[in-house]
């Protein structure tokens, strides 16, 4: 059978993060850490038919996040009442397992790629094994479990490393596939660790070996994929890798970056072909940018903003929940929040939309071919009519009719334009 159940271990607090936030909810490129392995698992629906997330510390917060990001997926939850280790976490999920192949991974491994997991699954099925582990050789000292092999090079166990100085050793990723029956039979044989007072899933490997089963290994070609997040420094490392992956995807789809090392893009951004991204550009999640645009430098595009094709924005500008049309120019410093800008509009330097009245955010609408003069303040809610113009330094507090010039503080009617 090719169907798999998956157990995702997400119950731990993450003490070394020094935070009240559960470790798996710390953000990487705008998304909680757990988002990435769940997204990868969902992409493999041909094999993966059931996802069970084991939660413990602040379980409702984790459940709420997954419900938000994956509302259409039937993700199940198992609750680990006491944090008694990885083997105990697997045990609480076992009663929910529906399929004979059980994939187990940790929620703190956001760098694992879809292809790696896919090939791991295929290798397990082709090998007709009861247990398989993703392993990797790391060239730097680490605290991942060391793979122990016998004289025939068969895996016989996993040895815990504490502050090891060894290099180029084969280590355990913490990603396994088990036959369900073998997992159930041997999980209960794991003894509590006398020092940590926890039940370690790694101990099952030596138990299965002594039972006479061969344990298969699958090598990760990119060691960084098995990297687990335990500290905030680890979080920074993962952020940089995922950010680079996102940018490389855009480059491969026709987006040009003048300096990709100084651009910060979050998960869920869409950018059209032939758009140029200048240095020191920050683009948050859920932003869509059209084709042939010029973005930056020194711009912060906040969540929910939409920018249509052939538009130029940048140079110390912040955009918040804006909908910007085609052929718009907003090329100089300013703030535009909750603003609808229609096609062929020019936004002068220093333009500010005053969108917050102390109680709620209000909208500004700027119609087609309008011209907003430098240092204009638009006090929302307000609408600027088609082909209208505001004089430099104006404070616009009332709607401006089409084909009208206004100026002053507050802005007043000056004349009609054709």
- Beta-carbon contacts of 113 under 8 Å, excluding residues fewer than 6 positions away, are 40, 222, 225
Mark which of 211, 229, 247 sits at the end of a domain. Answer: 229
CB 218 within 8 A of CB 119: yes
If asked whether residues 176 and 162 sit together in one domain, one would say yes
The CATH number of the domain where 179 resides is what?
3.90.550.10
Q: Which residues pair with 283 in a beta bridge?
A: 265, 301
How far is C-alpha 81 from the chain's CA centre?
28
If asked whether residues 289 and 184 sit together in one domain, one would say no
CA distance 117 to 109: 12
- Beta-carbon contacts of 188 under 8 Å, excluding residues fewer than 6 positions away, are 91
If asked whether residues 193 and 326 sit together in one domain, one would say no
User: Where do runs of H (alpha helix) occur along 78-231?
Assistant: 86-94, 114-127, 180-187, 203-210
CA distance 377 to 373: 9
How far is C-alpha 6 from the chain's CA centre?
20
Residue 99, both tokens: 């399929």
Give the DSSP letter string of 151-162. Answer: TTS-EEEEE--S
If asked whether residues 225 and 240 sit together in one domain, one would say no
CA distance 392 to 390: 7
CA distance 78 to 55: 6
Q: Which residues pair with 390 in a beta bridge?
A: 372, 406
User: Token match 């997991």: residue?
Assistant: 117
If asked whether residues 219 and 282 sit together in one domain, one would say no
Sign, CA dihedral 108-112-117-118, equals positive
Phi-psi region of 358 (alpha: psi -120 to 50; beta: other; left: phi over 0): left
3-state secondary structure 274-318: CCEECCCEEECCCCEECCCCEECCCEEECCCCEECCCCEECCCEE
Q: Which residues pair with 365 in a beta bridge?
A: 340, 383
| Burial class of 82 by CB neighbour count within 10 A (0 to 12, 13 to 18, 19+) | exposed
pLDDT in the model for residue 160: 83
Residue 308, both tokens: 């249509």
If asked whether residues 132 and 203 sit together in one domain, one would say yes
- Residue 361 structural domain: 233-416
CB 364 within 8 A of CB 355: yes
pLDDT in the model for residue 163: 60
Residue 171, both tokens: 């280590």
If asked whether residues 222 and 240 sit together in one domain, one would say no
Q: Which residues pair with 79 in a beta bridge?
A: 55
Centre a 10 Å sphere on the Cβ of residue 111 and count the other Cβ atoms it contains: 23
If asked whether residues 272 and 379 sit together in one domain, one would say yes
Residue 310, both tokens: 């052939």
Mark which of 174, 205, 229 sits at the end of a domain. Answer: 229
If asked whether residues 124 and 158 sit together in one domain, one would say yes
Query: For residue 154, what are the CA distances in angstroms to 17, 149, 161, 208?
Result: 36, 5, 20, 12
| Burial class of 203 by CB neighbour count within 10 A (0 to 12, 13 to 18, 19+) | buried
Q: Is 46 noted as a catalytic residue in this protein?
A: no
Mark which of 229, 253, 288 sits at the end of a domain. Answer: 229
- Point out the catalytic residue in the list 26, 46, 300, 332: 332
The CATH number of the domain where 401 resides is what?
2.160.10.10
CA distance 234 to 300: 25
Residue 412, both tokens: 């007043």
Any idea what DSSP says for residue 223? G
If asked whether residues 195 and 288 sit together in one domain, one would say no
Residue-level pLDDT, tens digit, the chain, 418 residues: 799 999 999 999 999 999 999 999 999 999 999 999 999 999 999 999 999 999 999 999 999 999 999 999 999 999 999 999 999 999 999 999 999 999 999 999 999 999 999 999 999 999 989 999 999 987 766 678 899 999 999 999 999 875 656 677 899 999 999 999 999 999 999 999 999 999 999 999 999 999 999 999 999 878 899 999 999 999 999 999 999 999 999 999 999 999 999 999 999 999 999 999 999 999 999 999 999 999 999 999 999 999 999 999 999 999 999 999 999 999 999 999 999 999 999 999 999 999 999 999 999 999 999 999 999 999 999 999 999 999 999 999 999 999 999 999 999 999 999 7
H or E stretch including 251?
Answer: helix 232-252
If asked whether residues 100 and 237 sit together in one domain, one would say no
CB 101 within 8 A of CB 89: no
Tell me how many domains the chain contains. Answer: 2
If asked whether residues 96 and 143 sit together in one domain, one would say yes
């Amino acid at each position: 059978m090719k169907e798999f159940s998956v157990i995702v271990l997400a119950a731990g607090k993450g003490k070394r993060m020094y935070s009240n936030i559960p470790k798996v909810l710390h953000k990487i490129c705008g998304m909680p850490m757990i988002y990435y392995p769940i997204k990868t698992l969902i992409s493999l629906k041909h094999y993966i038919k059931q996802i069970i997330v084991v939660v413990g510390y602040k379980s409702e917060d984790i459940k709420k996040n997954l419900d938000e990001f994956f509302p259409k997926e039937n993700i199940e939850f198992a609750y680990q009442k006491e944090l008694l280790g990885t083997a105990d976490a697997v045990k609480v999920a076992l009663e929910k397992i529906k399929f004979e192949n059980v994939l187990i991974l940790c929620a703190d491994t956001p760098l694992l790629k879809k292809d790696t997991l896919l090939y791991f699954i295929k290798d397990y099925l082709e090998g007709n094994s009861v247990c398989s582990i993703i392993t990797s050789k790391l060239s730097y000292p680490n605290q991942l479990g060391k793979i122990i092999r016998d004289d025939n090079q068969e895996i016989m166990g996993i040895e815990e490393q504490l502050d090891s100085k060894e290099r180029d050793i084969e280590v355990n990723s913490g990603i396994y596939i088990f036959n369900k029956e073998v997992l159930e039979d041997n999980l209960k044989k794991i003894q509590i660790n006398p020092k940590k007072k926890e039940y370690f899933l790694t101990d099952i490997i030596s138990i299965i070996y002594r039972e006479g089963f061969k344990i298969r290994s699958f090598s990760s070609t990119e060691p960084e994929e098995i990297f687990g997040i335990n500290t905030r420094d680890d979080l920074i490392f993962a952020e940089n890798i995922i950010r680079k992956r996102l940018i490389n995807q855009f480059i491969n789809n026709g987006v040009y970056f003048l300096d990709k090392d100084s651009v910060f893009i979050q998960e869920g951004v869409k950018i059209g072909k032939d758009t140029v991204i200048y240095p020191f550009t920050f683009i948050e999640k859920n932003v869509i940018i059209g084709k042939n645009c010029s973005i930056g430098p020194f711009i912060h595009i906040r969540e929910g903003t939409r920018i249509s094709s052939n538009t130029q924005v940048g140079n110390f500008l912040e955009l918040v929940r804006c909908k910007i049309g085609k052929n718009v120019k907003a090329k100089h410093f300013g703030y535009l929040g909750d603003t609808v800008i229609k096609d062929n509009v020019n936004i002068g330097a220093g333009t500010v939309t005053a969108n917050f009245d102390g109680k709620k955010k209000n909208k500004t609408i700027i119609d087609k071919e309008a011209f907003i003069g430098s240092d204009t303040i638009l006090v929302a809610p307000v609408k600027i009519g088609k082909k209208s113009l505001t004089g430099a330094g104006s404070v616009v507090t009332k709607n401006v009719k089409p084909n009208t010039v206004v100026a002053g503080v507050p802005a007043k009617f000056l004349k009609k334009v054709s």
